[in-house]
Amino acid sequence: MSDTLNLAKELISRQSVTPEDAECQSIMARRLEALGFSIDHLRFGEVDNLWARRGSEGPLFVFAGHTDVVPTGPESDWRHPPFSPTEENGLLYGRGATDMKGSLAAMITATERFIAQHPKHQGSIGYLITSDEEGLAIEGTVKVIEWLQARNEAIDWCLVGEPTSSDKVADVIKNGRRGSLGATLTVRGTQGHVAYPHLAKNPVHLVAPVLAELVAMQWDNGNDSFPPTTFQISNIQAGTGATNVIPGDLTVLFNFRFSTEITDAELRSQVETILQEHPLDYHIDWQLSGQPFLTPKGELVDATQAAIKTICGYETELSTSGGTSDGRFIAPTGAQVLELGPLNATIHKVDEHVAIDELDTLSEIYQQILNNLLT
């Protein structure tokens, strides 16, 4: 049994449902402290965060990730208890196996082997770990970044261990992410009897043309790194549940995943222009979850692609698809940010699992990235 598998199982056995850490960071900190890392346990609100650093000189390479996991749903639906890591047919089952305790284990064992071979490596190695990635994400990485900036500590290269792979480990790495802009639109009408519509005002009817216009809108054409911006309605609520009552108001939730071809301010302006062209009594609340970011080809991309070629023997695809990650808080500091982790096919699902041999491969890739950048 490999060190990476052992550590992954130890972490998975901790019931760290967001925002709980359940001592996962302490397990990691003990191993890092034995390697000469200075350790800072940072608690903001109800969230535990870990900052660890070895070395004081630049450049600073950072492994970033999270110890919290999403809820399991009914445990009776799982083949094996979700917090009892189980090996079966070459797979490791358990909540967090891919998202992202397997990656965390691979980071630690890669660092241990690298330091054993290069105790006087160039630059510094850091770890930025939070228990607030799967939740509200307001007391985690974003707060640690603020803390680092107050200490004038700047990250040069950051590798986030999110599960990025599609068909085989490391076949896809994320060198950027789209921005995420959400909104809650409330349209006020007048409740009444469906038989007397002239005495009421139906907000569903009033907003329908607006939603049709928003759905049909071409926001941008994307670019070489990003697909076109998308608009999706995620929830509509109205009415009392009775078929003979016209609703008094309506709430619509929608979200933009946007490219670097448009700004969140431009999206807000275009939406509100459309709203104002219709006879609506409305209120809208906007929630910006993150700006788009892109790490172009350069030191980190080159080192990572070369590492994958060395360990796996194949080329990897650069992609900006998928959801958001904590990379959105790190990239604005000027750091080069990439995401690389296991296959993402079972993340957040019942029976989440990872191929055991891919954990060892991932650890070897991480070690080779350190070799490429810090020796």
| Joined tokens for residue 249 | 């108001």
Residue 150 identity: A
φ, ψ dihedrals at 152, nearest 5°: 60, 35
Show the beta-strand stretches assigned E in 189-339: 192-193, 230-238, 245-246, 249-258, 281-290, 293-294, 317-319, 336-339
Distance CA(272)–CA(323), nearest Å, equals 25
| Joined tokens for residue 122 | 């160039």
Handedness of CA 322, 327, 329, 332 (dihedral sign): negative
**Do the beta carbons of residue 341 and residue 173 sit within 8 Å?**
no
Q: Look up 20 and say whether it is catalytic.
A: no
Q: Look up 364 and say whether it is catalytic.
A: no
| Joined tokens for residue 230 | 């998308």
The three-class DSSP label of residue 17 is strand
φ, ψ dihedrals at 263, nearest 5°: -105, 160
Distance CA(8)–CA(108), nearest Å, equals 10
Distance CA(340)–CA(198), nearest Å, equals 59
Catalytic choice (68, 112, 132, 156): 68
Catalytic choice (21, 133, 153, 364): 133
- Residues carrying an active site annotation: 68, 133
